[in-house]
Amino acid sequence: MKYTRTSIPEIIICEPKVFGDHRGYFMESYKALSLNDFLGHKIEFCQDNESSSKKGVLRGLHYQIGDFAQTKLVRVVYGKVIDIAVDIRVGSPTFGQHVAIELSAENKKQLLIPKGFAHGYIVLSDTAIFSYKIDTPYSFEHERGIAYDDATLQIDWGLKPSEFILSEKDTLNPTLQEATLFDYNLNYYE
């Protein structure tokens, strides 16, 4: 597995070694020892989640607060998405900045998104199957969101807004500024 730090060093691109021949391919999609060695600390994932979405579905930007903040390791099993991670750690030198990366079944890249980041993605292919590991279970009471179209974030989602398909919940999320003013439970930068 190859690990590469992004412009926000805590966000890491994970690229498995893929061994292919006329039969297909083999890869290790996750290896705890090598990831933990690279990070210098241990992550204990407790759950795997998977979703299927059609082209234009935008999910995000989501995060959880307090003891339910999550580290995620995300990948695309089928199709193609643009994956976004936004630094929401108040006081961080990269607060409000984001990393955008194309994840696909073809490139097999994964993104490690630590606690303190909002996460979202948009589907670019006709269909996509998105899979991710989390280190803390979902909690409705601790779930929060940031507006996908917050102008201060300057996110290029790769499609025209007229093509976006959103849940009603995701159309009601506050801007990052509103979230940091009114939500005192964000993961503050230390």
Which residues are marked as active site? 62, 132
Task: Give the separation between CA 177 and CA 148, rounded to whole angstroms.
Answer: 13
85: part of which helix (H) or strand (E)? strand 80-87
Dihedral sign from CA coordinates of 109, 88, 133, 57? negative
Q: Which residue, chain included where needed, has tokens 């807004």?
A: 161
Task: Give the separation between CA 67 and CA 121, rounded to whole angstroms.
Answer: 24
**Three-state secondary-structure class, residue 62:** strand
17, two tokens: 């070694």
**Three-state secondary-structure class, residue 170:** helix
Phi and psi at 34, nearest 5°, equal -70, -35
Residue 33's Cβ-count burial label (10 Å; 0-12, 13-18, 19+) is exposed
